[in-house]
Structures are given as C-alpha cells and as structure tokens.
Amino acid sequence: MCGRFALVNPSPSFGNQDISMLSESPARYNISPRSNISVLKANNGKTVLKQLKWGILVHSKIIINARQETANEKYLFKNLFYSNRIIVLATGFYEWDKLKNPYYFFSNSVIGLAGLAKEEAVILTMNANKHVKSIHHRMPLIINPESINDWLNPDKNTPSIDSFVDYSSSFVLKFHQVSKLINSVKNNTSDLIKPAITNLFN
C-alpha cells in the first residue's frame, strides 16, 4: 500500500521530461489522499505535467491504490488502465511496519510512481522487493524513467508491467524510520523525513 508520499526539492527532470517548474512549489513532506498531486500524463500525443486529485471517491469510500496484478481486470480500473495511465512524481514514500512504525523510502532523484487517472488518481502497487518487504509486503510500482513514453502511451493496449518497472531504483532506495508525526495530515515539515530518535534501551 502507498498511503503517503513526499515531493521535496525535486530534480529539474524525470527521464526526458522537464519538471523544473516544480522547484517553484513549496516542499510537500506529507502528501495525503484527496490532496492535489503532480503527475505526468499523455495529452494529444504530448506528455504534460498536471495536477490531479489523489483518490477516487466511490460511495463515500476513498480508493487510493490499485493492485497492478489485477488493475486491468477490475471494473473501476480497467478502462483507466488501457487509456489513462499516469506517472505520479515523488521524492519518497512512507510505509508502516506491523507495529505501525512509519518508514520513509527515498531516492537521490525523483521517482515516478505508476498510476491511473482521469481527474482522480490511484497509485499502482506491487509485491514489495526484498528490501521494502522487511517493513511492508506491498510498495508502489516505480516506473523506469526510460519507459515514460511507453507507459503513458494509450495505444499500448496490453502493456507488460515488468517492462516498465524500474527494478534498479527499487533496489537502491534508502530508508529509515521516521516520526509518527507523519500520521497527522496537518503536519508538513522537514522533520517528517528525518530519522526518528529511538530509545536504544527498548
């Protein structure tokens, strides 16, 4: 599952896409469901940067994730999967362990999270790799920057998920435990991504 992520001081590009305009936006350390998020999306043959709302509201329930294994079969997602794929821009994401301790997973550059959307977006998740699964069994599907155009191209009707996943980035993600302050959507400071101070005697 991916329930929170961050977009902080992003690099000026993601793959071949110029995203330098995001550097003018305030740092976002605690992006939560129903927030506006920055995404790359196909539009008339071009890739554009847009703001969309994270989470599809269905009968008062907010759906924020879709399993990549079944998204192309589910009623809510299958049309989006074949015609409205997006890339959610982030610099890190949070996962919680079984004891509900939060951890921040991040890279030295922007990471692209696979998603589906029209005006409301969901993030695709996959089985966690060997590093993330020590904390949580699921993780967001990270797109290889070299596959941006192919992933966003609606003409690719039956994409092979494995051909788009950035396994290299997934394996080099750094992570550390962070403060439970991340649990409140009201908090949005750099303290949220700093390593938590833990009691060594516990």
pLDDT of residue 200: 45
Q: In this structure, what CATH number is given to the domain that contains residue 189? A: 3.90.1680.10
Domains held by the chain: number: 1
Asked if the structure places residue 74 within a domain, the reply is yes
Alpha helices in the chain (DSSP H): 78-83, 148-152, 167-172
Q: Can you give the pLDDT of all 202 residues of the chain as single tens digits?
A: 789 999 999 999 999 999 999 988 999 999 999 999 999 999 888 999 999 999 999 988 999 999 998 998 999 998 898 889 999 999 999 999 999 999 999 988 899 999 999 889 999 999 988 778 899 999 999 998 888 988 998 775 555 676 677 666 555 789 999 999 999 999 999 999 999 976 544 4
pLDDT of residue 171: 54
The amino acid sitting at 189 is T
pLDDT of residue 135: 94
Asked if the structure places residue 199 within a domain, the reply is no
Q: Are 111 and 170 contacting, i.e. CB atoms less than 8 angstroms apart? A: no
CA distance 84 to 139: 21
Asked if the structure places residue 46 within a domain, the reply is yes
Q: Are 147 and 65 contacting, i.e. CB atoms less than 8 angstroms apart? A: no
Asked if the structure places residue 202 within a domain, the reply is no
